[in-house]
Every structure is written in structure tokens, then in C-alpha cells.
Copies of this chain bind each other. A is one copy, B any other.
């Protein structure tokens, strides 16, 4: 198959996604490897170039943890959420908005794209409120949950690629620490995104023979859980996918972020990448 034929193979996919919004949760190994990061930025620029609207939401847990350690700030988790004191929040915001976010903006520029780094405080993109656990004796500090998405700022920067740090804004302008997957799902839902791509460190959902399942409905996955085929870390990951689908996102793709250009493969080739999950 020659070069022209591969470009031609991409045409119907370009037509399919033209003008559509694709939210990409960027995280995991892909964010830790120089070559993968660069390939990721290049893919995003190509999407924008052909008329798709990519929106990036990124995480940063490991980098936050290591800075907290350098600064000797103690921290702990409750029920999987980081207890976020004001001191911790400062570090969360510095790492997310001040380091990772702007680095992605720089990589996109290096590939000829135009990005703008935002946090959920900018233009009150992500209004948040305090996250309260059922066991309310466990206070999570400034850990927050999404209250409302205001897409005005995203509409204003529509000619740019938005890169979003998952930080919310409270009634008094104060910051909240939001889970990146949930932020990405909420934004995808508010934008009526065509799909939500989750860059992960797995090849997708595997069947009992260890082969990647390209497409799956929720019921089918539930069956695989019952049958013990899906186990371990994939179970909470799928819960996040279900949450996004319940929030109104039509299709969520678990993509293999360890593979270079997995976004292009997923969107523009017959091969695809990872597993695409829809309600049915």
C-alpha cells in the first residue's frame, strides 16, 4: 500500500469527524516519555489541521506527588481522593497549571500548532464545589467536584487548541482539585463531544484469549466482568468510562498511550487502537 493510498484511506474518517469535538484525556506513560509526548502533540496538531476540534485535559498525579515530597509536605488519600490542604492545593496548581499544562502548549507550538493553556478557573470554565464523602468525618479539604461547565472561554479560543488543567473554581474564586478523568468527562458532555479518548497504559479491553476487543457495549463488558475476564485495575477504569457515558458522551475510547501516534491510528485508519465503548 503506497503513501497516496494511506492518505486516501484516511479521507472517509476525516469526513466523518470534520467539525466534531474530540476530548482527549492525556496521562499515564504517554506523558512521561519524550518521544511519546512529541508524537502525541503532533497527532493533536494534525487533528486540528483537518478541521476536528481536539480538547486536551491532562492529569499529573505522579509529578504532584514528587513535588510534594521535595517540599516535604505531608499528604494522604481518603477513599482514593487526595486530601487537599491549601498548601497541597498550591502545589497541585503549580504543577498542573504551571508546569505540565504549559509544557504541552510548548510541544504543540513545536509542531506548528497554536494552543492555549487553561485551567478550570479561567473564564470560570469549571465551577466546582467541595467534595464531601459519605463518611463526612473524613474532610477532603479542597478536593472538589464539578458543579457546572461554562464553555464560553472554549468558544472564544475556538481557533486554538485548548489544553486544560483539571482545577475548578469556587464561589469566591478559590481553586479546587478535580479528578482529571471526571473533568474530561464533564467537558466532553458539556461540549456534546463526538468522542472521549482516554490515553492509558493498556492495549484496551482484552477478551479471554488476550485479544483486544475493538468495540464493546456496556452489557458486554459487564458480562466479561462477571465471567472474570476483566479484573484488577481495569475495573475502576471502566467505572470512569461508564460515568462519562452516563454524563452523555456517546463514545469513549480506551487508547493505548504507550504506542506512538495511537490517536491517529484510532481516528484515521482501519486498524484503530484500544477499545471503543458505547452504551449499546
A residues with a Cβ closer than 8 A to B are 3-12, 14-15, 18, 39, 42-43, 45-46, 49-51, 70-71, 90, 93-99, 101-102, 105-112, 114-119, 121-124, 152-153, 156-160, 167, 169, 172-175, 260-261, 264-265, 268-269, 271
Contact = CB atoms under 8 A, between A and B. Distances in A.
Given A11-B45, A123-B160, A160-B123, A265 B99 contact: no
B4 A261 contact: yes
Contacts of A98: 93-99, 101
A51 to B, nearest CB: 6
Nearest to A114: B123
Contact of A3 (B6, B50, B51, B169): B6
A46 B7 contact: yes
Contacts of A9: 3
Main secondary structure of the interface of A (DSSP, over half): helix
Contacts of A71: 70-71
Nearest to A269: B3
Contact of A49 (B15, B45, B95, B107): B15
A107 B42 contact: no
A117 B121 contact: yes
A106 B126 CA distance: 12
Nearest 4 A/B pairs, CB to CB? A98-B98, A106-B173, A4-B261, A110-B173
A121 B9 CA distance: 25
A174 B43 CA distance: 19
A117 B122 contact: yes
Given A117-B119, A117-B122, A4 B260 contact: yes
Contact of A124 (B7, B12, B42, B114): B114
Given A11-B112, A51-B51, A97-B98, 8 more contacts: A3-B9, A3-B268, A4-B265, A7-B10, A8-B39, A94-B94, A94-B98, A96-B98
Contact of A119 (B10, B49, B94, B102): B102
A71 B169 CA distance: 28
